[in-house]
Structure 1
Amino acid sequence: MKRRIETAVIVTLLAVPLALALLGPLVPFAGGERARPFDPEAPWPGTDHLGASVLDGVLDGGRGIVLTAVAATALAYAAGFPVGLAAASTRRRWLDELLMRPFDLLLALPSLLLVLILASIAPPTAWTLVLVTASVNLPDIARITRAAALDAAHRPAVEAMWLQGEHPWRIATVHTARSILPTVAADAGVRLVGACYLVAAASFFGVAGPEANDWAVMVDANRGGIFLSPWGVVLPAALLVALSVGLNLLFDRLLSRRDTP
């Protein structure tokens, strides 16, 4: 019974924001003439800082943040996974140091500070948001991949492959990479949740540009009228929280199921 309740909670938390993110832009918007900004007499859920319907913004603002988080996570793994795998598999100490030390320098910077630094030297666009989010996650992914692959890359079977003259990259991709896939999959779930938070924070700081329209931007833009029209802040913030909590619970469930004998 408890497991069924947990499943229902996870499905509910994820179904609402994902359905709005994927299908919301397909729903016809109210459009028409705009009313007064933060008009308390406007139909529910009220108007935003521009006088447009909050419901229109909610329907149109989910796809960007979800697709950006997924794209940034995929890009970060596409770059960080091979680097961490190569650092763990190499027999040359200097190459390991050369690959990993720049990531240590990046990790010394707080993520939000790194977001602001990268955003200040790049134009504020959706692609900038993807690249910034991927860049922030890249050092952690490379280090986690290296740490997970170190043991697998120095097992007796791998040493035997080296003695037989197998190509190093074939050893790394066929044997080592396959053995660390469960660890990488577990990290990917947590990383996706973190990417959602980071995309929301970066959008809040205007990294996506002034024309961006997503739930995080709505929270930032409408917070000045929260006492006049609170739904412009409450609805997008609740959807972001539901998406993040739902993803956390989902990956916790999947990992616990995999670890259960």
Structure 2
Amino acid sequence: MTHRRFLLGLGVVAVPLLLALLGPFLAGEPGPRATSFALGDGHLLGTDFVGRDVLRQTLLGGRTVVVTALAATALAYLVAVPVALAGALTRLRWLEDLLMRPLDVLLAVPSLLLILLVAAVLTPGAVGLALLVALVNVPDAARIVRAAAGEAAARPAVEALRMQGESRWRIAVGYVGRSTLRTLAADAGIRLTGVLYLVSTAAFLGVGVAPDAADWAVMVDRNRTGLMVQPWAVVVPALLIVALTMGTNLLFDAALEKRGRR
């Protein structure tokens, strides 16, 4: 059953990932614009709100979503994991408070609201959007890693390693860090889905991308006015976003189940 779930998740996530990675190389040169929200006339999936070929826009629109989401997730853990491990292993209460309490303040602000507030002052591009999404995910990720690392750091094995003269680095990474890997893997599957949601929602609201950019989320937003006339311009990018999130969850669930059995 686990093997089937893994293959199903791999099959589901492979389609949007391949389109995101290889699509720009397959898109070709833009052709002349046609009538808005038209079907046929040489356009396999019809045209969008300004008469561009939907198939070409779909091939071009995945890279921003996928790369931004992956970069934001990696950046969030790049900050959260060292902070959480330091908080879990320190014996100084004030240092742990100094590391973790500012994150609690940031956690109190709704993620999308914070992104929109920053976007109202600045004009973030794709890099800025990735940094913003990473920032709002750091507090939650750090708390989860801190909880798992705190349990591992309280084990007698850690005290034994200290008595043997093991370095802080080896204790933090070699034992406590390894003990949190399963929790990290479970959180990563959920977090990547949440990051994809945030990136897509922000792009849907016009944050980080141009209003007419070739982006799956922007396509859903800009073409929804013609949904009843030309549905493919909305349905195809929306299904690709859903497939990406659902396939990711299936892959992580299958991997965790397989690891648990071992």
Residues 1-261 of structure 1: pairs in structure 2 closer than 5 A: 6-29=5-28, 31-40=30-39, 42=41, 43-163=43-163, 166-210=166-210, 212-261=213-262
Contact 2:6 2:255 in 1 (8 A): no
Decide whether the 8 Å contact of 1:85 with 1:177 is kept in 2: yes
Give yes or no for contact 1:124–1:206 (8 Å, CA) kept in 2.
no
Unaligned runs of 5+ in 1: none
Shift of 1:164: 5.5
Instruction: Report the alpha carbon displacement of residue 4 of structure 1 after superposing the two structures with TM.
Output: 6.6
- Displacement, 1:41? 5.1
The 8 Å contact of residues 30 and 53 in structure 1, kept in 2 or not, is answered as no
Deviations 1:35-65 (A, max 9, x none): 1221245433111112100001100011111
- Distance in 1, Cα, partners of 2:121 & 2:181: 35
CA distance in 2, matches of 1:7, 1:169: 34
Which sits farther off after the overlay, 55-64 or 191-200?
A: 191-200
- SS of 1:240's partner is helix
Residue 112 of structure 1 and its aligned partner are, at CA, apart by 1.4
**Structure 2: tracts of 5 or more residues without a match:** none
The 8 Å contact of residues 80 and 139 in structure 1, kept in 2 or not, is answered as: yes
Identity of aligned residues (%): 53
Determine if contact 1:149/1:176 at 8 Å carries over to the other structure: yes
Q: Deviations over 1:149-199 (max 9, x none)?
A: 002112223223445665444432332112212221221222112211111
1:177/1:12 Cα in 2 relative to 1: closer, same or farther (>3 Å)? closer
Cα deviation digits, residues 86-131 of structure 1 (max 9, x gap): 1111101111111111111122122211221232233230111110
The number of residue pairs the alignment matches comes to 260
After TM superposition, the structure 1 stretch with the greater mean CA deviation from structure 2, 120-129 or 69-78, is 120-129
In 2: Cα distance, 1:148 partner to 1:243 partner: 28
Query: Once structures 1 and 2 are overlaid, which stretch shifts more, 140-149 or 169-178?
Result: 169-178
Contact residue 5 and residue 251 of structure 2 kept, 8 A: no
Give the alignment's TM-score, normalised by structure 2.
0.91
User: Could you tell me how far apart the structure 1 residues matched to 2:204 and 2:138 are?
Assistant: 21
Query: What SS is found at the alignment partner of 2:58?
Result: helix
Q: Is the 8 A contact 1:128 1:207 kept in 2?
A: no
CA distance in 2, matches of 1:39, 1:181: 50
> Could you tell me how far apart the structure 2 residues matched to 1:173 and 1:12 are?
34
TM-score by length of 1: 0.92
Deviates most, 61-70 or 171-180: 171-180
Which range is displaced more, 127-136 or 177-186? 177-186
The amino acid of 2:245's aligned partner reads S
Contact persistence 1:72–1:130 (CA under 8 A) = yes
